[in-house]
Amino acid sequence: MSRIVIISNRLPITIKKERNELIYYPSAGGLATGLNSLDSSLDKIWIGWPGQIEQEQEQRAVQNDLKKRGLVPVFLTTEDVELYYEGFSNKVIWPHFHYFTQYTTYRDDYWEAYQSVNRKFADVVIPQLQDDDIVWVHDYQLMLLPAMIRAAFPKISIGFFLHIPFPSYEIFRILPWREEILDGLLGADQIGFHTFNYMRHFLSAAYRISGYEHNFGKLKVGNRMVNVDVFPMGIDYEKYAHPQLDDSSMTEDVKYIEALAKDRRLIISIDRLDYTKGIPQRVKAFAQFVRNHPEYHRKVSLVMIVVPSRANVDQYKELKQEVDTLAGELNSTYGSFVWTPIKYFYRSLNFRELTTLYRLADVAMITPLRDGMNLVAKEYIASKEDNKKGVLILSEMAGASNELLEAILINPQDMNEIESALVQALEMPLDEQQERLEYMQEKLKKYNVRHWANTFMNEQRKLMESQSVTRTNILNEEEQTKLVKAYKTAKKRLVVLDYDGTLMNFDPDPQAVVPDEQLVKMLTSLQNDTQNSLVVSSGRDKATLQEWLGPIGMDFAAEHGVWMKRGGNWQKPPGLTAAWKPQIRSVLENLVERTPGSFIEEKQYSIAWHYRRIDKDLGEKRVREFRDVLRYLTANLDLQVLEGNKVVEIKNAGVNKGKAILNWLNDADYDFIIAIGDDHTDEDTFRAMPDKAYTIKVGLMKTDARFNLLSVEQVRDLLEKLVA
């Protein structure tokens, strides 16, 4: 069985030095719960930072101790923590990925430290690895690490999960180090996000910045397919639904919460102190509610828990001061000896205090300005398992809003909407509260943190297997040697080659890919060999093929098999007509008018709309718009619609490359056949070939070909070996 190697910034254990003694504490968060719930039969190791330990003797002791627990420490210096963690991670990536670009600090020393610490992690990780391991890297602190591991282990399976939002392309592109971050992430085989929007933003950035186009969330990166997908993180549902508590956890604060809940209705707000959480906006909205609804005075209190965070950073100091001021003003204006509108606590709660507050609160107000997921919202819902009473007001900017659709979803910047949501929540009938809670609880029970971890890992295993299968289909050196030998010893050969994407790389201008000198020389050598029948089978029109390659003297199958040139003469199948073209052309002309940069290519018996020069997403939007219109028209006119690489072509039905190539296959008894092509129209050629033929797909897409090559350059290298 493969081992699972988990890598995160922090280990599930944090070590602190207190009174000259190293004390071990469990790290906060649901990540450890989820990853510890993975199949117990699997061998797991976890690599990460254990806390600030700088003396070598103590580091060795910690290393030996953690090894017994399946943990491997990465030790960081004080400077590392300051520049890499507090610096680049939390003053560059954190604000930038949460859309607070005004707080992004562009400092080269932060970036250098980020690279250096990712390399420190790699230096610890790489000696631990074996070829068949499954590696899972976590979060924004380690976005360069996948590529570093890939460089040392080209075939190892690497997953990466981002626990915060991935910003839109327009935000991400501002980062000076955007390409390096993308290259680091794309070292992984699988990249996971909480929501579809984060996934969509990443794919857009990968295309617009690095040029990687995706096909249903899969990117071809070198000789690998990278799967980009959505894996919403859940919680340990049972931990909050049925908390295991003992008498020792009963504190005075727990008793106070219980007494307060008997006296009035509670609205809770629980956050770490952070500008992404929208705490000032929440206090202002509650103040507006108090001001406009005197009927709730003395009946409702907002219990606001703000957990201290980065208290030495100026932005956080200013944020705390603002929250303190807003809460103080509201309490001083409307409070009395018997009622305080906001019960404000600047500290963390223990587990019993937290679950008591969840259980007794009538409303939870979770309104971040931007949040990757927000597990507090899910914990609140789970805590209502028994009493089925409570309402969740949730920001639509939190990842959890994609799952918790039965919550009252609000825009966290809209004070009026939050005020209305508070009234709706406080006045919601009990049967509606129960119905909404039960819907959400059913989802959270099923899609808990264990489900999240196991789903990610299962998908990575499947990907690992498919990558292995794909690698076996690559036409490697050994197979190429066999192919060249078979070619050299054959007496009668058929060589079928596509043009665009096979012999020449794509270009935004279809007329810009005139064959170069090397290609002309290579094709001439193939054609001049009297034992060869050479056919270029392309979607290109016959005039262009004749102009570019005609002097060489090979045969052609042009316009996807509409025209064939055999023995110097062009011919076409009987019964073809072009009478339908004016009707289709009018549809495409309308498309060009609305899509500057796109254009129509007209052939004798087909017509194509190209969108190579425009934004890919806009092109695909236009394709979706007119796809149904085309299908309706083509069904009545006996036509076929072909969707290729940034082109849509309409031609007569019943004509394809495979049928065309049968004319050559039936000409002779070949003892060597090779066919190479890159897009789905070439699949008809592959299917027409006998089993013994060498059929080769350019790229890693699913194919009926026997083998794959990865690029035009590899195709040319192979053909050079044939003519050598």
Digit-coded pLDDT (tens) for 176-191:
999 999 999 999 999 9
214 bridge partner residues: 219
Phi/psi of residue 390, nearest 5 degrees: 150, 155
What is the percentage of the chain residues whose pLDDT exceeds 90? 73
- What are the angstrom distances between the C-alpha of 639 and each of 19, 562, 609, 611? 82, 13, 15, 21
CATH architecture for the domain at 581-652: 2-Layer Sandwich (3.30)
Q: State the DSSP H helix or E strand holding residue 565, giving kind and residue range, or none if neither.
A: strand 563-566
Q: E strands of 572-620, at which residues?
A: 599-602, 606-610
Asked if 175 contacts 181 with a C-beta cutoff of 8 angstroms, the reply is yes
Q: From 3.40.50.360, 3.40.50.2000, 3.40.190.10, 3.90.650.10, which CATH number describes the 237-446 domain?
A: 3.40.50.2000
pLDDT of 630: 77
Angle between helices 430-446 and 375-382 (to 10 degrees): 120
Rounded to whole angstroms, the Cα distance separating 695 from 707 reads 6
Instruction: Label residue 436 by pLDDT band (50, 70, 90).
Output: very high
The CA distance from 275 to 209, in Å, is: 29
597 has a pLDDT exceeding 80: yes
- Spatial separation of the C-alpha atoms in residues 613 and 616, rounded to whole Å: 8
Q: Is the dihedral of CA 496, 502, 504, 508 positive or negative?
A: positive
Alpha carbons 155 and 189: distance in angstroms, whole number: 10
DSSP state of 607: E
| Interacting residues of 561 by C-beta distance below 8 A, sequence separation 6+ | 537, 655, 656, 657, 658, 659, 660, 661
Q: What is the mean pLDDT of residues 93-112?
A: 97
What average pLDDT does range 42-66 have in this prediction?
91
Using 50, 70 and 90 to split pLDDT, how confident is the model at 660?
A: very high
Q: Which residue, chain included where needed, has tokens 């360069």?
A: 144
Q: Which residues lie across from 305 on neighbouring strands?
A: 270, 345
Residue 170 has what pLDDT? 96
For the chain, give the longest Cα–Cα distance: 105
Residue that is written with structure tokens 């971890």 in the block: 453
Question: What pTM does this model have?
Answer: 0.84
Quote the tokens at residue 345: 């606590």
Q: What is the mean pLDDT of residues 455-460?
A: 93
Classify residue 83 by its DSSP letter: I
Q: Is 466 helix (H, G, I), strand (E, B) or coil?
A: helix
Smallest Cα–Cα separation from 606: which of 636, 642, 635? 642
Joined together, the tokens standing for residue 116 give 């250096």
Taking the C-alpha atoms of residue 262 and residue 272, their distance in angstroms, rounded to an integer, is 27
Residue 154 CA to residue 143 CA, distance in Å, equals 17
3-state SS, residue 38: coil
Strands 265-272 and 363-366: parallel
Distance CA 162, CA 143 (A): 9
Could you say which of 80, 498, 678, 684 is catalytic?
A: 498
Task: Please compute the mean of the pLDDT values over residues 230-239 and round it to a whole number.
Answer: 94
pLDDT number for residue 1: 62
> Does 498 participate in catalysis according to the annotation?
yes
The answer to whether the beta carbons of residues 640 and 659 sit under 8 Å apart is: no
Q: What does the pLDDT read at residue 43?
A: 86
DSSP state letters, 279-297: HHHHHHHHHHHHHH-GGGT
Backbone angles phi, psi at 180, to 5 degrees: -65, -40
Can you give the pLDDT at residue 671?
95
Q: By the 8 A CB rule, do 62 and 22 touch? A: yes
High-pLDDT (> 70) share of the chain, %: 98
Q: What is the pLDDT of residue 510?
A: 81
Please, which residues bridge with residue 694 across strands? 674
Residue indicated by tokens 């980009």: 228
* Separation in Å, CA 343 to CA 251, 277, 320, 471: 18, 18, 15, 61
Tell me the pLDDT tens digit for each residue of 509-562.
888 899 999 999 999 999 999 999 999 999 999 999 999 999 999 999 999 999
* CB 80, CB 116: distance < 8 Å: yes
Residue 335 corresponds to which tokens in the numbers above?
Answer: 């409070």
Rg of the chain on CA atoms, in Å: 32
Instruction: Single out the residue of 455, 457, 508, 491 nearest to residue 668, CA to CA.
Output: 491
CATH superfamily, domain at 474-573+655-723: HAD superfamily/HAD-like (3.40.50.1000)
Cα–Cα nearest to 680, from 711, 651, 658, 707: 658
What pLDDT, on the 0 to 100 scale, is given for residue 33? 67
Q: Which of 383, 449, 378 is nearest to 31 (CA)?
A: 449
Question: CA 73 to CA 209: how far, in whole Å?
Answer: 35
Domain residue ranges in the chain: 4-230, 237-446, 474-573+655-723, 581-652
Task: Find the angle CA(62)-CA(68)-CA(70) to the nearest 5 degrees.
Answer: 95
Sequence-ordered alpha helix ranges (H) in 135-277: 145-152, 169-172, 178-185, 196-210, 237-241, 252-263
Residues 340-392 pLDDT 10s: 999 999 999 999 999 999 999 999 999 999 999 999 999 999 999 999 999 99
**Phi and psi at residue 344, to the nearest 5°:** -105, 125
- Mean pLDDT check: name the lowest of 30-39, 210-219, 235-244, 428-437: 30-39
Q: Terminal CA-to-CA distance of the chain, rounded, Å?
A: 46
- Residue 633 is predicted with a pLDDT of 77
**Residue 496, CB-side half-sphere exposure with 13 Å CA sphere:** 35
Q: pLDDT at residue 248 above 80? A: no
H or E element at residue 425: helix 415-427
Distance CA 136, CA 252 (A): 42
Domains 4-230 and 474-573+655-723 share a fold: yes
Pick the CATH number of 4-230 from 3.90.1150.10, 3.40.50.2000, 3.30.870.10, 3.30.9.60: 3.40.50.2000
Lowest model confidence (mean pLDDT) among 40-54, 56-70, 590-604, 631-645: 631-645
Type and span of the H or E element at 71: strand 71-73
Q: How many helices (H) and strands (E) does the chain have?
A: 26, 29
Q: State the chain's mean pLDDT as an integer.
A: 92
What local confidence, expressed as pLDDT, does residue 659 receive? 93
Phi, psi values for residue 16, rounded to 5°: -125, 145
Checking if the pLDDT of 151 tops 80, the result is yes
Structure tokens at 618: 């806009």
Residue 368's pLDDT is what? 97
Beta pairing class for 606-610 and 647-652: antiparallel
Which one-letter DSSP state was computed for residue 66?
H
